[in-house]
Amino acid sequence: MTKEVEAVSEQPAEYSAKDYTDPPPTPLIDFEELTKWSLYRACIAEFIATLLFLYVTVLTVIGYKHQADTNDGGDICGGVGILGIAWAFGGMIFVLVYCTAGISGGHINPAVTFGLFLARKVSLIRAVLYMVSQCLGAICGVGLVKAFQKAYYNRYGGGVNVMAGGHSKGVGLGAEIIGTFVLVYTVFSATDPKRSARDSHVPVLAPLPIGFAVFMVHLATIPITGTGINPARSFGAAVIYNQDKAWDEHWIFWVGPFIGAFAAAVYHQYILRAGALKALGSFRSNA
């Protein structure tokens, strides 16, 4: 606490009322991280979290399709429906971010990791290892679904993200860009040090809006792309299902989320938080 007070007191007068401190940018490449157990512990947490995320959500998708198939339209209340699928994705993100935020930051998504890397919240080494861990976790999670429900898994498409009929690739790409922008923008806003200082008495504040963002985006884009906004989720399902249809438009579920994450990082860091202006002001002050 003493260090925080000192840090605030050293700032210029116009910032003297601040009750928070922005952490310094993370080094672009930090080889010292490779010698720390905390990095590997975080990667394990990302792997397990993504595994659990894919296991629960893909099972939900397959279960919904099976229930819809067996009902044959006779019971309009049968199955979880699109609303239930959206709740499964949003709810799992809420739970898993809450569980892993203190260990790895609770990314569970290469697009989120990419956005935080652009904002210098994580180093390049950590970002790459996180993305690898997330993709491996996604593959293992979908693999468990196939192992336990092989017949249903193959029959109902394995939870693979594909473009819905009647929509162009451009529409699908736009849906992924905007959907990921909403998610990553929410991540930046919910974890902003300025907000944390004022809402520190609400410990679940960050996971809750992030989970709701995933829920809302799924409601909007399931009818278009099945909702990716998470390259690991799309990649894991495509690898295990491994049919031509799974790979035909797979690039959309990487390019779209990464563009959306880039846009969200620029918008939050350089427009809302005026990162460029602060850097310029610091440069002038030092000069």
What angle is formed at CA 91 by the lines to CA 199 and CA 254, rounded to 5 degrees? Answer: 100
Task: Specify the pLDDT at position 219.
Answer: 95
Judge whether residue 282 has pLDDT over 80.
no
Among left, alpha and beta (phi > 0; psi -120 to 50; other), residue 165 is beta
Domains annotated for the chain, with CATH where assigned, are: 33-271 (1.20.1080.10)
pLDDT above 70: residue 200: no
Minimum mean pLDDT among 64-68, 137-141, 152-156: which range? 64-68
Question: 245 versus 275: which is more confidently predicted?
Answer: 245
Mean pLDDT of the chain: 84
Residue 105 burial by Cβ neighbours in a 10 Å radius (0-12, 13-18, 19+): buried
81-107 confidence digits (pLDDT tens) = 889 999 999 999 999 999 999 999 999
pTM: 0.84
* Distance separating alpha carbons of residues 113 and 51, to the nearest angstrom: 17
pLDDT-based confidence at 229, cuts 50/70/90? very high
pLDDT at 14 over 60: no
Write the CB contacts of 162 (distance below 8 Å, at least 6 apart in sequence): 225, 226, 245, 246, 248, 249
What was the pLDDT predicted at 157?
A: 86
pLDDT at 264 over 80: yes
pLDDT above 60 for 8 = no
The pLDDT tens digits for 24-54 are 788 888 888 888 999 999 999 999 999 999 9
Q: Tell me the DSSP string of 96-120.
A: HHHHHTTTT----SHHHHHHHHHTT
Neighbours of 11 (CB within 10 A): 12
Is residue 208 over pLDDT 70?
yes
Q: What is the mean pLDDT of residues 59-76?
A: 74
Which of the pair, 197 or 161, is modelled with greater confidence?
161
Under the banding of pLDDT at 50, 70 and 90, the label for residue 184 is very high
| Least confident range of 63-72, 196-205, 240-249 | 196-205
